[in-house]
Amino acid sequence: GRHSMLPRHVQRLGRDCIAHWNGSQMLALNSPVPNCTRWAGHYPWASFPLLVPADFSINWRIPPFFGPWRQFQNCNRQLDNFMQSPCFHLPNPRMKSEGEEPLTKKRRLGDQHDTSTLEEGTNLSNQEEAGDLSVAQIEEKHSSKKGTVKRHWEYFCQHGRTMKIIENKQTDSSNTESDAKFDFTVMSYNILSQNLLEDNSHLYKHCRQCLLIWAYRFPNILEEIKQLDADVLCLQEVQEDHYRTEIKSSLESLGYHCEYKMRTGRKPDGCAICFKTSKFSLISSNPVEFFRRDIPLLDRDNVGLVLLLQPKFHCETNAAICIANTHLLYNPRRGDIKLTQLAMLLAEIASVASQKDGTFCPIVICGDFNSVPGSPLYRFIKEGKLNYEGLSIGKVSGQEQFPRGQRILSIPIWPKKLGISQSCVYETKQQQKEENAGEKLETTKLDKNQEIVRASEKLSSKLQHCFKLSSVYSHYFPETGIPEVTTCHSRSAVTVDYIFYSAASGDTAAQPGAENSFHGGLKLLGRLALLTEKDLWTVNGLPNENNSSDHLPLLAEFRLIER
């Protein structure tokens, strides 16, 4: 049959070089290609054999048009050898939507293998197709060929114990300064909800299906958590039924206490914070729901969770640490919702972490913020202020190079009935603070009122928060300037996951401007290094055989500094 979508010279090829195959199998022929096979028409430069499938249900590879053609002068080549040459993909006519990704996302694997490896891979595929190998043998052969990318531990100061990240960590009671030091590790990890994976299968076209089932993925994720052995886990996309039947009990057996907040909508996943009971005790658990039935802007079901933890060590004061976890809205074109959700989370943190003397206890904020480094939302978190006047909603998160959301953010972004001020605190407490400090504005003269109204109108486009936060990661490798990556799938490879913390004065790893404005603070001791996109594609991106989420876990070690 003919295909109207094909080039004319492809349609005119002789019937003797037409080959049919099943869309789920690789093409393999045992007979040599006929010597007479040539391009039809006036294409003398294309003197090599070309096979055309009658069923284009998969991306069929043809050799490049430019390059040395001596390898094709001998036309009696086997097809399996013929298919090993570098190639490009024809478009897949069965892509259901523009959001679905073609199979061309299977990339960069060839860079890491020599010719012999490719031949072995082709032979392995042929054996699989012929049914000569069992499933277990196929898995064993694949796993023996796949490599892993090592992540190293980066320390920012002298540390007595090396490789603490993979060893059983215990408080060093022999240390003479043990009463004044408290070291702990925090992990942020989006473990990829199985429901979301299946609803967005176009993001994982590069993965073998057997690697995407939960029965395969969960043991990998649990083993990764065991090896990293963090004192605090901040997990996103935790599916409720899996949490109830497997995750919670598995983590409790490792010595964790778990707090969980499920999303308010139909999608059955949420956020969890788990901490080692040997290191912390729970003071309070505070879930945050971003959905508001009476506010049209807040019609999304994302959530957050804020815990106040008491370290288990002897000290003069009752030290506490605030741990927050969230997963903000993904939609790149709704920066107004993202900023409002972030403001709600910051307001809850300000309420939970506030101390009697007006300062805040040390804070760690983890999560998937669905925003890239340098974006307005990211700068707002780190710098504590943002003037969003004239800012389009599609540019808030920086997820799209050419944002489609062109509507300008309204001033103010959220309605007053939300009860959160432009300083990202609950308004009732803000008013009490102003009254106690004697900063309440006087409204006796009309002209003064008008000036106040005009001033408030000018300031209404400015957001601010009272925390001075640093990022654990720098987001670029200093030697090369290549971006770090926290998520990598068929569509993109970027940084969207973060660990922010309130830095103590003198913390050499903190960004400029993160001075001590807290009740003590945190000193960053080390972090588990991230990877580049190229690194991840050497193991076929994420998920893969060893990493069963499309995100990498972030891990940092802190020391609590008392003031």
pLDDT bin (cut points 50, 70, 90) of residue 452 is very low
Using the predicted structure, report yes or no on whether residue 335 has a pLDDT greater than 70.
yes
pLDDT bin (cut points 50, 70, 90) of residue 316 is low
Cα torsion angle, 267, 235, 227, 484, sign: positive
Phi-psi category of 181—alpha, beta or left, where left has phi over 0 and alpha has psi -120 to 50? beta
Residue, of 261 and 511, whose pLDDT is higher: 261
Using the predicted structure, report yes or no on whether residue 131 has a pLDDT greater than 90.
no
Calculate what percentage of the chain has a pLDDT beyond 90. 56
Using the predicted structure, report yes or no on whether residue 314 has a pLDDT greater than 70.
no
Residue, of 150 and 5, whose pLDDT is higher: 150
The mean per-residue pLDDT over the stretch 251-263 comes to 98
Residue 511 is which amino acid? Q
Using the predicted structure, report yes or no on whether residue 92 has a pLDDT greater than 70.
no
All domains of the chain, ordered by start, with CATH? Answer: 182-425+459-560 (3.60.10.10)
pTM of the model: 0.71
pLDDT bin (cut points 50, 70, 90) of residue 436 is low
Rounded-to-integer distance, Cα 324 and Cα 322, Å: 7
The least confident of 33-47, 268-282, 304-318, 363-377 is: 33-47
pLDDT digits (tens, 9 = 90+) for 534-549: 999 999 999 999 999 9
Using the predicted structure, report yes or no on whether residue 89 has a pLDDT greater than 90.
no
Nearest to 307 by CA among 378, 379, 235, 398: 235
Non-local (6+) Cβ contacts of 526 within 8 A are 153, 154, 155, 156, 159, 556, 557
Q: 284 to each of 82, 259, 287, 309, 347, how far by Cα in Å?
A: 65, 10, 10, 7, 16
Burial 171-188 (b: 16+ CB within 10 A, else e): eeeeeeeeeebbbbbbbb
Residue 148: per-residue pLDDT: 81
Distance, CA of 412 to chain centre = 30
**HEC profile for 2-40?**
CCCCCCHHHHCCCHHHEECCCCCCCCCCCCCCCCCCCCC
Cβ atoms of residues 501 and 360 within 8 Å: no
